[in-house]
Amino acid sequence: MSNNNNDTNQIGLEKADMSEIISKLNGLLSSYHLFYINVRGYHWNVKGEHFFTLHPKFEELYSALQIQIDEIAERILTLGGTPLHAYSDFAQHTSIQEDKNVKDGTTCVKGVVTGLQTLIEEQRQVSALASDADDQGSADLVDAYVQEQEKLIWMYNAFLG
């Protein structure tokens, strides 16, 4: 497929339609980074009777987030955008609140659930926008994350009782 049209990006999508999607994906990328930092903190600082259960679960979660962060950044590049990459930018564009000095396992898990719910809400917005612009790749990417994260919410809420 040769792309000689200046109005479309390298994968044939309208550049004008992509600017808002790129912006939303950069917001999502920022939220993922803040959530990742929160989960790292939970992993390092969790104490109490559920330490041996939660410590590895949080590591599993932040390892998955690392991969997703990379995939979101690569999607932004694929669409012709530039992924945000400075903490100051992440702090400005995130929907996730910092969760500092949390040690109690239950509070950590509640923070995970809240973070996942925020990511899901943001991803649903990206998906709707991407679908409207025929950007199936972005919609599929975030839809797969939503499906995984909905299951995680159920599991973490089962832990909370």
143 vs 17 pLDDT, higher one: 143
pLDDT band, very low/low/confident/very high, at 13 (cuts 50, 70, 90): confident
9 falls within a domain: no
Q: Is pLDDT above 60 for 3?
A: no
Range name among 5-14, 19-28, 44-53, 135-144 with the lowest pLDDT average = 5-14
Residue 117: CB atoms within 10 Å: 13
Residue 49: give the domain boundaries: 15-160
Per the structure block, which two tokens stand in for 90? 């992440």
| Closest to 24 measured CA to CA, from 94, 118, 117 | 94
86 falls within a domain: yes
Residue type, 36: Y
CA dihedral 104, 106, 112, 115 (to 10 degrees): -90
90 falls within a domain: yes
22 falls within a domain: yes
CA–CA separation, 49 and 139 (whole Å): 40
- The pLDDT tens digits of the residues spanning 83-132 come to 999 999 999 999 999 999 999 999 999 999 999 999 999 999 999 999 99
Q: Is pLDDT above 70 for 46?
A: yes
Q: Is pLDDT above 70 for 146?
A: yes
Q: Is pLDDT above 50 for 2?
A: no
98 falls within a domain: yes
Contacts of 65 (CB under 8 A, 6+ apart): 32, 35, 36, 39
Which CATH number fits the domain that encloses residue 59?
A: 1.20.1260.10
Report the number of distinct structural domains present in the chain. 1
3 falls within a domain: no
67 falls within a domain: yes
46 falls within a domain: yes
Q: What is the pTM of this model?
A: 0.94
pLDDT band, very low/low/confident/very high, at 16 (cuts 50, 70, 90): confident
